[in-house]
Each structure stands twice: as C-alpha cells, then as structure tokens.
Amino acid sequence: MHVHIAPSVGSVSVDGVTRYGFDMSSLTPDISAIDWVDNEGVVQYKDITQPKNRLVIIKDEIITDFSLYQHFVDAWIIKDQQMKAGA
C-alpha cells in the first residue's frame, strides 16, 4: 500500500487515489508530507519560518511505524466509500 498525506492541501492518497478535505490538525505545522510504502516511510519536515509560498525541506525522518497516521487511511476509506456511493 502506498499512502501520501499532504497537510497543506488536506489530501490523502492511497494507491494513487486522492481524496481531499481531511482534518490535519493532529499534525504539527512543520510536517510537509508523509509517504508510506508497504513497511516503511518518510515524514518530511519544512522550515515554518519561510513564507507559505516557499517550501524548504529541512529534514526527512524515516519511519517504520505507521500507527500515528493510520487514522488518515481510516478516514480515507470512509470518504472513498461515500464518494463511490454518490454521497
């Protein structure tokens, strides 16, 4: 499974299918993106002192535990089912 979480636009992508409108307030403001592929991933941190239109990545953190971010996939599943049902 490939997951991409983009806090700046409130999107979550699972295996290439993107849904928008997710609450990202549980993430710290310095997280630029989270990518997860199968059993490992990376959290990209940005310099929050920069203007919003200038993205400067200051650190990539390798992660092997996705449990902190699993609720985004759970919310994506609900939203995906709703969209497929026409809700």
Structural domains in the chain (count) = 1
> Which of these, 66, 64, 80, 68, lies nearest to 20 by C-alpha position?
80
Give the span between the Cα atoms of 5 and 25, in whole angstroms.
13
Residues 6+ apart with CB under 8 A from 30: 45, 46, 47, 48
> Which of these, 52, 50, 63, 65, lies nearest to 7 by C-alpha position?
52
pTM for the predicted model, two decimal places: 0.90
Amino acid code (one letter) for 57: I
pLDDT tens profile 12-57: 999 999 999 999 999 999 999 999 999 999 999 999 888 877 878 8
Domain residue limits at 78: 2-85
Q: Would the CA dihedral through 76, 81, 85, 87 be positive or negative?
A: negative
Q: How confident is the model at residue 82 (pLDDT cuts 50, 70, 90)?
A: very high
Q: Which residue has the higher pLDDT, 11 or 48?
A: 11
